[in-house]
């Protein structure tokens, strides 16, 4: 039985800052888009569920802040400047972690987000079976994975966002997106 899954996939993804890239999941786009009805009747909008509402938060959680601090420390130790926290990347990372946790799809990269090859993005995903795993363990797992480590130490990446979600079966999904 596998306790953890690691996926490190560099992506050429369009993450135009200020725009929300919505996953292809049916529930999330319905909550993110505001489609106007052609009739004069107003359709009541449903309130987002607490799990989807996470994406609107822009402040880093204490856990995410520690992930960022540890990532900065590792980059600095290796002669690479720290990355700047980015709210858009954090929202997208949280949304993708939530989608993976809700659908229990494992550490699949966010290939269903909108893509554009004008931006260079890396995405690191860790899935762990202990929802109380420390940020140190998550960062150590990434550092010990050649693909994750290459993304973390790539000095071209200047912005970063973290997002976490816990599934019904108590797996924690941690997504890190880096962009230049």
Answer yes or no: is 147 within a domain.
Answer: yes
Answer yes or no: is 32 within a domain.
Answer: no
- Which residue segment(s) compose the domain that 153 sits in? 4-18+57-179
1: Cβ–Cβ under 8 A, 6 or more apart, which residues?
Answer: none
Distances (CA, A) of 82 to 26, 121, 178: 36, 16, 11
Answer yes or no: is 79 within a domain.
Answer: yes
Q: What is the domain count for the chain?
A: 1
Residue 176 pairs in a beta bridge with: 124, 162
Instruction: Give the CATH number for residue 62.
Output: 3.40.33.10
CA distance 171 to 166: 6
152: Cβ–Cβ under 8 A, 6 or more apart, which residues?
Answer: 71, 74, 75, 124, 142, 143, 178
Given a contact cutoff of 8 angstroms between Cβ atoms, the answer to whether 127 and 173 are in contact is yes
pLDDT (tens, 9 = 90+) of the chain, 180 residues, equals 444 444 433 332 333 233 333 333 322 222 222 223 333 333 333 333 344 444 444 588 999 999 999 999 999 999 999 999 999 999 999 999 999 999 877 655 555 444 455 668 899 999 999 999 999 999 999 999 999 999 999 999 999 999 999 999 999 999 999 998
The pLDDT, as a whole number, for residue 115 is: 43
174, 70, 66, 65: which is closest to 128 by C-alpha?
174
Answer yes or no: is 136 within a domain.
Answer: yes
Reduced to 3 states, what is the DSSP secondary structure of residue 15? coil
| Cα first-last separation, the chain | 37
The pLDDT, as a whole number, for residue 120 is: 85
Answer yes or no: is 36 within a domain.
Answer: no
The pLDDT, as a whole number, for residue 44 is: 35
Answer yes or no: is 26 within a domain.
Answer: no
Given a contact cutoff of 8 angstroms between Cβ atoms, the answer to whether 93 and 170 are in contact is no
The pLDDT, as a whole number, for residue 59 is: 80
Answer yes or no: is 160 within a domain.
Answer: yes
Answer yes or no: is 106 within a domain.
Answer: yes
The pLDDT, as a whole number, for residue 74 is: 98
CA distance 107 to 129: 12
The pLDDT, as a whole number, for residue 99 is: 93
């Amino acid at each position: 039985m596998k306790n953890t899954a690691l996926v490190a996939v560099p992506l050429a993804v369009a993450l135009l800052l200020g725009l929300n890239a919505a996953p292809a999941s049916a529930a999330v786009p319905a909550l993110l888009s505001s489609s106007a009805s052609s009739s004069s009747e107003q359709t009541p909008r449903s309130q987002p569920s607490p799990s989807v509402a996470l994406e609107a938060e822009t402040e880093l959680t204490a856990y995410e802040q520690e992930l960022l601090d540890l990532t900065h420390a590792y980059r600095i130790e290796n002669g690479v400047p720290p990355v700047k926290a980015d709210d858009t990347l954090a929202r997208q990372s949280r949304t993708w972690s939530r989608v993976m946790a809700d659908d229990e799809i494992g550490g699949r990269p966010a290939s269903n987000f909108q893509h554009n090859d004008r931006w260079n993005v890396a995405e690191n995903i860790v899935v762990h079976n202990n929802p109380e795993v420390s940020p140190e363990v998550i960062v150590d797992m990434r550092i010990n994975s050649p693909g994750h480590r290459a993304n973390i130490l790539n000095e071209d990446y200047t912005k970063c966002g973290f997002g976490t979600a816990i599934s019904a079966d108590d797996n924690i999904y941690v997504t890190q997106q880096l962009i230049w």
